[in-house]
Amino acid sequence: MEVSQSGNPWAGEVALVIDGQRYVLKLTLGALAELEAGLQSGTLIELVERFESGGFSTRDVLALIVAGLRGGGWQGRAADLAQAEIAGGPMAATRAAAELLVRAFAVPE
């Protein structure tokens, strides 16, 4: 998979390759606020619970990837990713989204 462990877990970073370019994703406080405001259902806690239970949607994954990209300095929008090629496909995107949540709300081991 293309979720890179080279992102700094102590800084909450996850790396992901999109359209052949490596991006560092991070859920900053601003990115989390934007994510929560854009959630179509529930709160951040409910989003975490959906991931823990396996009840998340592709919309949840996309919202987390966009928030992580924004936290890493990306200026794009969710629509910009509609045709993007994510190395490792949907599974890599899902793993990156889940890892973002873990790194944002847990201390690395």
pLDDT per residue of the chain (109 residues) written in tens, 0 to 9: 344 445 677 788 999 999 999 999 999 999 999 898 888 777 888 998 999 999 999 999 999 999 999 999 999 888 999 889 999 999 999 999 999 999 888 766 6
The H or E element containing residue 14 is strand 13-18
The number of domains in the chain is 1
46 assigned to some structural domain? yes
Q: Which of 46, 37, 42, 34 is nearest to 72 (CA)?
A: 34
pLDDT digits over 40-52, tens only? 777 888 998 999 9
4 assigned to some structural domain? no
2 assigned to some structural domain? no
Residues 6+ away with beta carbon under 8 Å from 21? none
pTM of the predicted protein model: 0.86
Residues 31 and 70: beta-carbon distance below 8 Å? yes
Residues 103 and 72: beta-carbon distance below 8 Å? no
pLDDT digits over 73-90, tens only? 999 888 999 889 999 999
Domain limits for position 30 = 9-105
1 assigned to some structural domain? no
